Amino acid sequence: MKKAFPVYDICSLADNQHHDLLISRFAPYLQKHHNLALAHKHSFYHVVLFTRGGGKHAIDFKQFDVKPYQIYFMAPGQVHSWSFEGPVDGYIINFSAEFFQSFLLRPEYLDSFVFFTGDVNEQVIELDGTVQLGINRLFEQLISESAQPSRLNMDMIRALMLQLFITVAREKTEGSTLGVPGYNYTLLQSFRKLVDKHFATLRLPKDYAALLYITPNHLNALCNDMLGIPAGELIRDRVVLEAKRLLINHDMNINEIAGKLNFADNSYFTKFFKKYTGQTPEDFRKTQYRNEHSR
């Protein structure tokens, strides 16, 4: 079995590009990094536009069909894999969380784009024909600017990337994620960030409501209104997701994973995992192993 669950940073994937950024056409990138077909984790933001190809790709264990003029976005820490059919091409951008920090007055600006929040259901977008040509042009400009990285080139790249994000966000949400986010959206993002930080130790909505200085009823109403699920389900989903991420790392046994997620024992963790996934942790691990090695 695979012994290590790979975590890639930009430096491990780039040649001579800026250490915070990698921009490439997708076909040569894929040819060089064919090992990325297996499940792996990124420490950076990751954007891909497919212009040609078929097959499947998965983000945090949710599968999507590969289609021309599909664009997807990933935040740091998410798990990803590919299984392509036939020739595939397009464009790829990898960039660090620090890449925009000195450029933007609001360092949290990227969080205003719903496709960078880590919600898998918002991250894969089929581009309408009316924007495909404009998006293609932006990627071609990014390829050109990245060929000679100077300070002004890098600032132009940042400006072009923001134009790309805004164009896609406008197409997807008609501007609801642009500008200054509304109070409820900001509150929901704060809740998600707290869950990402504390899910292993804080499992009840009332714990997060206290950290947000709101009532549990307010938090549940917010989640039901904006996500269609109660706050407790969002917390449970995050625990299940982390369990899946850990289970594909064969360096850790089930007891170690249960302990890392703060379950009292292996039996309780197994019951919890099976209740919300329909599989035991061992069955999930075996299924993922078979799927990866059948490619």
Q: Give the model confidence (pLDDT) of 117-159 as tens digits.
A: 888 989 999 999 999 999 999 999 999 999 886 778 899 999 9
Contact 251, 5 (CB under 8 A): yes
Looking at residue 159, its pLDDT comes to 95
Beta bridge partners of 59: 62, 80
Query: Residue 203: is its pLDDT beyond 80?
Result: yes
Residues of the chain with CATH 2.60.120.280: 7-173
CATH of domain 7-173: 2.60.120.280
- The H or E element that residue 266 is part of is helix 266-277
Compute the mean pLDDT over every residue in the chain, rounded to the nearest whole number. Answer: 88
pLDDT: is 41 or 160 the higher one? 160
Tokens of 70: 């599909």
pLDDT: is 191 or 40 the higher one? 191
Contact 102, 51 (CB under 8 A): no
Query: Residue 185: is its pLDDT beyond 90?
Result: no
Residues of the chain with CATH 1.10.10.60: 183-293
Tokens of 173: 């949400």
Tens-digit pLDDT profile for residues 48-86: 999 999 999 999 999 999 999 999 999 998 998 889 999
CATH superfamily of 183-293: Homeodomain-like (1.10.10.60)
Looking at residue 179, its pLDDT comes to 45
pTM recorded for the entire structure? 0.84
Mean pLDDT throughout 240-266? 92
Looking at residue 88, its pLDDT comes to 94
